[in-house]
Amino acid sequence: MSENLISMEAKNLTKAYRRGAEEITAVNSVSLEINKGEFVSIIGPSGSGKTTLVNLLGCLDNPTAGELYLGGRSIFGKGKRLSERDLTKIRRETFGYIFQNFYLIPTLTVMENVILPLTFYRKPNTEHEAEKLLNLLGIEHRKDHLPGQISGGEMQRVAIARAMVNMPEILLADEPTGNLDTKRSVEIVEVLRVLNRNVGLTIIMVTHNQELARYADRMFEMKDGQLCEIEVPTGNTVTRAASQRLS
């Protein structure tokens, strides 16, 4: 595969830490290649290392060993580690992050929450791009509401819009439906699927729900710090149905 088609590559990525006298290996020599525009899901039980792996892939944590490349550029490995300033720039320009908790500021409106990263990153506070995202996510009519005035599913859509306002290359979603009921969970993953298909966004999603994981192009299972790929049914009817409903 040509490097210009590869969004991310991990080689023998490892993360170990100490708990008292015991050494815990949360991620154990994981190798993974993700192409641009892919939707990848990672499942596994609590404590399997899923979140630790996503934090490593998203440059939110430093590996104990192994290598990480973004678009062919070495980020970690072979004795190399970028400065914190460079890592901050990569996080800002390459990634969008969605978490289980929405982390919306309750005293700010939906629109103000979405454009907040533009303020932190010293970009013009234009509402034009944010309005397009809210429209794409079906919540433009909520832009002047406070988080406490909208539903959980709508709050997660706001979090998605905020994660995308800087137009990231890769979206990392760590249990994005963990606080939602089944219906809202399906709605959110369908939104991610359509963003992946229509915008070409590369997505890595961690979930404990195998049915939701099937919306991805490729599925992986994390167990005891190690990663293995699971076959996704050919012509996945789940992803086709999502695209038909939301396109």
The answer to the question of residue 84 being in a domain is no
Residue 111 lies in a domain: yes
Please indicate, yes or no, if residue 13 is contained in any of the structural domains. no
Query: pLDDT digits over 124-135, tens only?
Result: 656 788 899 999
Confidence of residue 155 (pLDDT cuts 50, 70, 90): very high
> Has residue 27 been placed in a domain?
no
Task: Name the pLDDT band for 144 (thresholds 50, 70, 90).
Answer: very high
- Categorize the per-residue pLDDT at 6 as very low, low, confident or very high, splitting at 50, 70 and 90: confident
Coil/strand/helix, residue 35: strand
Mean pLDDT throughout 198-206?
94
List pLDDT tens digits, range 157-190.
999 999 999 889 999 999 999 889 999 999 999 9
Please tell me the distance from the alpha carbon of residue 23 to that of residue 247, in angstroms, as a whole number.
48
- Tell me, yes or no, whether 143 lies in a domain: yes
Closest alpha carbon to 63 in 78, 48, 44, 45: 78
Residue-level pLDDT at 67: 95
Phi and psi based region of residue 103 (left: phi greater than 0; alpha: psi -120 to 50; beta: remaining): left
In a domain, 241, yes or no: yes
Determine whether 82 is exposed, middle or buried from the number of CB atoms within 10 Å of its CB (0-12, 13-18, 19+).
middle
State yes or no: pLDDT of 222 exceeds 80. yes
Q: What is the pLDDT of residues 61-107, one digit of tens each?
A: 999 999 999 998 999 987 777 888 999 989 988 999 999 889 999 99
Query: What is the reported pLDDT for 96?
Result: 94
pLDDT interval class at 111 (50, 70, 90): very high
72 within a domain of the structure (yes/no): no
Radius of gyration of the chain (CA): 18
DSSP at 233: P
CATH code of the domain covering residue 109: 3.40.50.300
User: Residue 5: inside a domain, yes or no?
Assistant: no
Please count the structural domains in the chain.
Answer: 1
- How many Å apart are CA 97 and CA 109, to the nearest integer? 20
User: At CB < 8 A and 24+ separation, what contacts does 54-57 make?
Assistant: 54/172, 54/174, 54/204, 54/206, 56/10, 56/13, 56/15, 56/27, 57/8, 57/10, 57/13, 57/32, 57/172, 57/204
Q: Which domain holds residue 154?
A: 35-65+91-246
pLDDT at residue 80, as a whole number: 73
| pLDDT tops 60 at residue 191 | yes
Residue that wins the pLDDT comparison between 225 and 234: 225
If one counts every other C-beta atom within 10 angstroms of the C-beta of residue 142, the result is: 21
